[in-house]
Amino acid sequence: MNMQTIIGYMNIGGTYVLYALLLCSVFVVYVCIDRLFYLYVSSTNGEWFLKQIANFLANNHLNDALSFCEAEKKKLIAGIFQIGLYRSHCNREDIMDAMTVGISDAARSLDSNLSILGTVAVIAPFVGLFGTVLGIIQAFNKISKHGRTGIATVGAGVAEALVTTAAGLLVAILSVMLFNYFKSRIKRMVGELTDYASRFGELLYFVQTGVQLPADIRVDGAASDKQEKIAAGTK
């Protein structure tokens, strides 16, 4: 294989570098849409949810509480509370240990596919730089073939080659921004799940011991419409 053949492959390679960066961009968009949708579907008002469960338990409607969680099973907090409800006969420590495992599972599901963003953020600048190196080699090859030098000749080739570096940096910057955004939001969600799980464990303890529920988690008055539907469906 002679040098001209190698240069020819490099000409093709520069184009494929842009295609590779475009593919990386597609992965970034996919992960972004996937995580935004999952976060939207799995989130809920934890304070409201805790009070609905508290109202069921205050009226000794354990099965209705389980049915309510099952109806809201797409919400992460519902699955964690359901774990606790199934172990409502256990002591508080065992209930909290089980819910902690549930929170860890929820955290893993929230983190799903985020490694793609991290990988793209790391490799995209190097892919772009690789394309630039190929472009500069092509530019100097043209200079050697035509025997013309000067800033106009060299500058045009280098400017064209730097396009891939710019594209790689753009993809990497967007990936890092999205990665940090999702990580921050997931950390906040996991923290909230941990707090509500702790309060739910306290709620089950109050129910077990017959102590009146604290005002901050007690629902006074009639049950909500959704509660009434759940209760009616279990009769």
Q: What mean pLDDT is predicted for residues 191-217?
A: 83
Lowest-pLDDT range of 4-8, 24-28, 56-60, 175-179:
4-8
- Residue 131: pLDDT band (50, 70, 90) is confident
212 or 188: which leads in pLDDT: 188
Give the predicted TM-score (pTM) of the model: 0.79
At 235 the pLDDT is 45
Residue 105 has pLDDT above 60, yes or no: yes
The pLDDT of residue 179 is 95
Asked if residue 194 lies in contact with residue 172, where contact means CB atoms within 8 angstroms, the answer is: no
Higher pLDDT, 141 or 222: 141
Q: Which of 47, 32, 10 is nearest to 142 (CA)?
A: 10
Q: Mean pLDDT over residues 111-121, rounded?
A: 93
pLDDT of res. 234? 47
117-127: average pLDDT:
93
Per residue in 23-44, pLDDT (tens digit) is 999 999 999 999 999 999 998 8
pLDDT reported for residue 231: 46
Lowest-pLDDT choice from 4-13, 77-86, 96-105: 4-13
